Structure 1
Amino acid sequence: MSLAPRQQNILELVRERGYVSIEELAQHFAVTPQTIRRDINQLAEVGLLRRYHGGAAHDSSVENTAYSMRASQMRDEKRRIAEAMATHVPDQASLFINIGTTTEAIAHALLNHHGLKIITNNLHVANILSAKDDFDVLIAGGTVRSDGGVVGQATADFMKQFKVDYALIGISGIDEDGTLLDFDFQEVRVSQAIIDNARKVYLAADSSKFGRSAMTRLGSLEQIDSLFTEARPEEPFAQLLAANKVKVVIAE
Structure 2
Amino acid sequence: MAEKKAGKGLSQRQKQIVEMVRQQGFAAVEALAQNFDVTPQTIRRDINELCSQGLVRRFHGGVGLSSSVENVAYETRKVLLLEEKQRIARQVAGQIPDRASVFIDIGTSTEEVARALRDHEGLRVITNDLNVATILSGNPTCEVIIAGGVVRHRYRGITGEATIDFIRQFKVDFGILGISAIDSDGTLLEFDYHEVRVAQAIIENSRKVFLTADHTKFGRNALVRLGHLSQIDALFTDRQPPEEIAGSLAEHNVALYVAEAGLRSQ
Length-normalised TM-score, structure 2: 0.87
Instruction: Determine if the alignment matches structure 1 residue 229 to structure 2 residue 221.
Output: no
Q: Give a deviation string over 1:153-178, Cα, whole Å, max 9, x none.
A: 11111100000000011001011111
CA distance in 2, matches of 1:26, 1:45: 15
Alpha-carbon shift at residue 242 of structure 1 (Å): 0.5
Kindly indicate whether residue 53 of structure 2 is the aligned counterpart of residue 45 of structure 1: no
Cα distance, 1:109 vs structure 2: 0.5
Contact 2:178 / 2:212 at 8 angstroms: preserved in 1?
A: yes
Contact 1:43 1:49 in 2 (8 A): no
Tell me, yes or no, if structure 1 residue 81 matches structure 2 residue 88: yes
Query: 1:91 aligns to what?
Result: 98
Verify the 8 A CA contact 1:227 1:249 in the aligned structure 2: yes
Aligned 1:66-215 pairs, distance under 5 A: 66-145=73-152, 146-215=154-223
1:181-227 deviation line (CA, Å, top 9, x unaligned):
11111111100000000000011111111111111111111111011
Please state whether the residue corresponding to 1:157 is helix, strand or coil: helix
Q: CA deviation at 1:40?
A: 3.5
Matched, 1:64 2:67: no
- Does structure 1 residue 9 correspond to structure 2 residue 12? no
Give the secondary-structure state (helix, strand or coil) at the position aligned to 1:236.
helix
**Partner secondary structure for residue 170 of structure 2:** coil
User: Residue type matched to 2:174 in 1?
Assistant: Y
Q: CA deviation at 1:54?
A: 7.2
User: Which residue in the other structure is 1:216 paired with?
Assistant: 224
Q: CA 1:76–1:159 in 2, change beyond 3 Å: closer, same or farther?
A: same
3-state SS in 1 of match to 2:243: coil
* Distance in 2, Cα, partners of 1:105 & 1:16: 22
Cα RMSD (Å): 2.1
Q: What amino acid does structure 2 have at the position aligned with 1:211? A: G
Paired with 1:174 and 1:70, the residues of 2 have a C-alpha distance of: 17
- Cα distance in 1, alignment partners of residues 76 and 31 from structure 2: 14
Query: For the Cα contact (< 8 Å) 2:60–2:218, is it kept in 1?
Result: no
- SS at structure 1 position matched to 2:155: coil
State how far apart, in whole Å, the 1-side matches of 2:73 and 2:82 are.
Answer: 15
CA contact (8 A) 1:174 1:209 kept: yes
Q: CA deviation at 1:10?
A: 1.8
Matched residues in 1 for 2:220 and 2:183: separation?
Answer: 7
Q: Alignment identity in percent?
A: 52
- Residue ranges of structure 1 left out of the alignment (5+ in a row): none
The one-letter code matched in structure 1 to 2:86 is R
d(CA) in 2 for partners of 1:65, 1:165? 31
Please state how far the C-alpha of 1:21 moved relative to its aligned partner.
Answer: 6.0
What is the CA-CA distance between 1:66 and the residue it aligns to? Answer: 0.1
Letter in 1 for 2:197: R
The worse-fitting range, judged by mean Cα deviation, of 85-94 and 142-151 is 142-151
Distance 2:61 2:245 in 1: 20
Aligned length: 248
What is the CA deviation profile of residues 37-84 of structure 1, one whole-angstrom value per residue up to 9, with x for unaligned ones?
A: 445412332424245677642242101100011111111110000000
Q: Which runs of 5+ in 2 are unaligned?
A: 1-7, 261-266
Letter in 2 for 1:234: P
